[in-house]
Amino acid sequence: MLNKKLFHIISAAALSSLLFSCKKNFLEINPTDKFSEAAVLADSTVFEAFVVNRYIGARLQDKEGDGTDPGFGRGMEYSMWSSITDESIYNNDDNTWTIQRGLLAPENVGMAGTIWPRSYRSIREVNFALNGLTQIKMSDARKNRLKGELQFIRAFRYLDLIRNYGGVVLMGDQVLELGDNLQNDALFQRATLKASIDYAVSQFDQAAALLPTDNDGNWPLGRATKGAALALKARLLLYAASPLYATGTWADAVTANQAVIAMNKYSLFQGGYDKLFLDATGNNEIIFARLYTKNANHTHLEIANGPNSYGGWGGNLPLQNLVDDYRMMDGSAITDAGTSYNPAQPYANRDPRFYFTILYNGASYRGSTIDTYTPGGKDSKDGPDNWNTSKTGYYLKKFMNDAYPLQNPWGNAGFQPWIYIRYAEVLLNYAEAANEVGGPDVVPSGATLTPRQAVNLVRARSSVGMPAIPVGRSQAQMRDLIRSERRVELAFEEHRFYDVRRWKIADVTENKPANGITITKNGTTYTYATKVALDGRKFLTQHYWLPIPRAEIQASNYKLKQNDNY
């Protein structure tokens, strides 16, 4: 729990860096990097700095970032959320293999163990600021903006809790103090899943009504806007209508996503799929993202994930499971009858997003090529720094900026944004919900696109140019195509973990072996053989939701109800 007297806070001059750290203070001294509650509430500049710091949470576990504190999700951290899905594995474990192998338990939650405590810590901080807002001397217009910002942050924290645990404890505007916990059983009553979602949706709505439409000089990039609130609300309503949740309607999800489309503010980035993730400036596809600065030490993606021969650590390694799901350039799956796929040339003529996402044997990279074959491949176990060799035969390319140094990058790399939500997701969210309402070629009431048209916009973006899905697909066929599109368009962006659960197909996808590829070179001929890259992969029914960490159950004197079968 947050210490009730002292807060870490950045200086007003550093507002745009959005960096915050908050830890308990055990010494009765006057620290120079902390402000008391009274000081936060006494100065409007300090108060606004405090609000901006709420975009960042406390660092509660090793390897959560590198010298800076986490935001929402696992963006820009060593082991990504993708590495507890069928997208990738993490080369050196970092608390991911426990989850991949189905050993998740309240006493052993691996890399997923900080969501509950960090979210509620953040909610308490937001509630403190909301309760103190009336004391701040500033214009009503400015107060309303800050109120909307705080409600947005709180709603995002609840979204994160809901999609991981189901029904959660709704704190309202309470600001708890040490000792309050065991005196009120209501503090530990988990609301129903529907009530939890309804509350978060209402908070997003209230935030949207108060937030500005645009980022500008007075409201810089990285801070919430009306569009960010509406887009995350729309994501949550899509979840609510999905089979695992079954508490909302597809029509509500259509309406919510259509509201974002109708803003006519966002558009698909046409400067190259690979460049989409490198710079937020002037990028109208980005709805909400975390920004980084050169003065802030954090994970350098290039060295963390780069191939071993380049001095990289080969961190998050794409699985063959994902590689196989990239379609051919003609739109066919590699398993389709009559497909153009050639197993002797498995990387030829694939969806262009494959080449922007995954480094494979023969791929061009930093003036050379990736060589994962044996014997002798420089990016295989026969190459230098072979302790960092990929276990899957692939390395991650998405998000990487080749203009940044890979070796000795400290302070000179890792400045790309981490995108929390972008317009392509909104289009795919809309398409999924609209297809469930009326099928592939029906424009739902009050909307402007058919599901097929929405997906085709994403496929047609510059540098991708996948063929349009033709008219005549059934609703079930379109459902599969939308899921396939999400698989590749949103790869490594923290969607797959939640998608396979909300669709209730994780018992299939997450029980498949974590496969890689072995490539043997003989002269000019390559032989490809599938291998198991991480053994023991397993998913059980209870894993549709995460367990609440045992420490949180114990802290409630066992009044907090654990998720089923843990």
Q: What is the pLDDT of residues 25-76, one digit of tens each?
A: 333 444 445 668 888 999 999 999 999 999 999 888 887 877 778 999 988 8
Question: Is the Cβ–Cβ distance between 73 and 420 less than 8 Å?
Answer: yes
Low-confidence ranges of the chain (pLDDT < 50): 1-6, 9-32
Task: Identify which of 192, 196, 188, 190 has the alpha carbon closest to the alpha carbon of residue 558.
Answer: 188
Determine the Cα–Cα distance for residues 245 and 197; give it in Å rounded to an integer. 10
SS3 517: strand
pLDDT at 25: 32
Write the CA distances from 550 to 277, 299, 331, 541, 559, integer angstroms. 37, 29, 47, 19, 12
Name all contacts of 206-215 with Cβ < 8 Å and 24+ positions apart: 206/148, 206/151, 207/148, 207/149, 207/151, 207/152, 207/155, 208/148, 208/233, 209/148, 210/144, 210/145, 210/147, 210/148, 210/151, 211/145, 211/148, 211/149, 211/152, 212/145, 213/263, 213/265, 214/265
Determine the Cα–Cα distance for residues 288 and 228; give it in Å rounded to an integer. 6
Determine the Cα–Cα distance for residues 244 and 544; give it in Å rounded to an integer. 8
pLDDT at 111: 93
CA 222-75-268 angle, 5° bins: 60
Report residue 13 CA to chain centroid gap: 28
pLDDT at 177: 78
Task: Please provide the DSSP assignment of 448-509 as one string.
Answer: ---HHHHHHHHHTSTTT-PPPPPTT--HHHHHHHHHHHHHHHTTTSS-HHHHHHHTT-HHHH
Question: Is the Cβ–Cβ distance between 165 and 548 less than 8 Å?
Answer: yes
Question: Is the Cβ–Cβ distance between 280 and 380 less than 8 Å?
Answer: no
What lies within 8 Å, CB to CB, of 242 at 6+ separation is: 502, 503
- The single-letter DSSP state of residue 17 is G
Determine the Cα–Cα distance for residues 157 and 122; give it in Å rounded to an integer. 7
With tokens 């103190």, the residue in question is 132
Beta-sheet strands, E only, within 54-200: 88-90
pLDDT at 7: 56
Determine the Cα–Cα distance for residues 375 and 527; give it in Å rounded to an integer. 12
Structure token pair of residue 209: 């009504």
Phi and psi of 111, rounded to 5°? Answer: -70, -10
Answer positive or negative: Cα dihedral of 549, 550, 553, 556.
negative
Determine the Cα–Cα distance for residues 398 and 412; give it in Å rounded to an integer. 19
pLDDT at 3: 40
Residue 287, CB-side half-sphere exposure with 13 Å CA sphere: 27
Hey, how many other C-beta atoms are within 10 angstroms of the C-beta on 82?
27
Determine the Cα–Cα distance for residues 462 and 145; give it in Å rounded to an integer. 36
Hey, how many other C-beta atoms are within 10 angstroms of the C-beta on 73?
18
pLDDT at 24: 34
